[in-house]
């Protein structure tokens, strides 16, 4: 029987993220979490002689949330430009998972043509000792894997 080696579980704290906006690459060292999901769009396929309805993949959509510490104005400034001029902005988001304690290597995902749904315009919280953070929900139109994890070593 094969067993997972505990050290091969990937630590979420070992990630890195980079954003490319208007040709400029910036490391998102102030990112706290990111999660992106690809969801299939399926069409109903009624089938003669069956009581159920079959499903056929007909497309997909990508959504995600980036949570960052609240100390960059970059996304607010881009949203303000959209408000003032109608010029929307798109960016690529690259996420690298590489835990040096693991034998599975690294995975590099690129979410392409990301577009923010909303940004926090202003915030403060006089009741909390925690640092301010903001959630940035977004959509994306393409996806690539530049690096893929290796098969884990089994024992």
Q: Convert the pLDDT of each residue in 24-74 to its tens digit.
A: 999 999 999 999 999 999 999 999 999 999 999 999 999 999 999 999 999
Give the mean model confidence (pLDDT) for residues 8-20.
93
Percentage, residues of the chain above pLDDT 70: 100
The alpha carbons of the chain give a radius of gyration, in whole angstroms, of 20
In a domain, 57, yes or no: yes
Q: What φ, ψ does residue 12 adopt, rounded to 5°?
A: -65, -20
In a domain, 70, yes or no: yes
In a domain, 153, yes or no: no
In a domain, 132, yes or no: yes
CATH of the domain at 130: 2.30.110.40
In a domain, 155, yes or no: no
Domain limits at 31?
A: 15-44+53-147
The structural domain count of the chain equals 1
Look at residue 61 in the predicted model and tell me its pLDDT: 98
* DSSP code string of 111-125: EEEEEES---S----
In a domain, 1, yes or no: no
Closest CA to 146 of 112, 100, 101: 112
Q: Convert the pLDDT of each residue in 71-119 to its tens digit.
A: 999 999 999 999 999 999 999 999 999 999 999 999 999 999 999 999 9
Mean pLDDT of the chain: 95
Is the distance from CB of 105 to CB of 68 less than 8 angstroms?
Answer: no
What's the whole-model pTM score? 0.91
In a domain, 8, yes or no: no
């Amino acid at each position: 029987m094969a067993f997972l080696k505990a050290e091969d579980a990937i630590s979420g704290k070992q990630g890195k993220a980079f954003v490319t906006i208007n040709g400029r690459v910036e490391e998102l060292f102030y990112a706290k979490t990111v999660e992106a999901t690809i969801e299939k769009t399926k069409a109903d396929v009624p089938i003669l002689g069956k009581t159920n309805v079959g499903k056929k993949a007909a497309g997909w959509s990508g959504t995600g949330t980036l949570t960052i510490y609240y100390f960059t104005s970059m996304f607010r400034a881009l949203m303000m430009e959209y408000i003032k001029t109608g010029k929307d902005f798109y960016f690529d988001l690259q996420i690298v998972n590489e835990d040096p304690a693991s034998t599975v290597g690294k995975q590099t995902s690129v979410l392409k043509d990301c577009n923010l749904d909303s940004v926090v315009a202003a915030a403060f919280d006089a009741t909390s000792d925690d640092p301010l953070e903001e959630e940035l929900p977004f959509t994306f139109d393409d996806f690539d894997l530049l690096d893929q994890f290796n098969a884990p070593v089994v024992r």
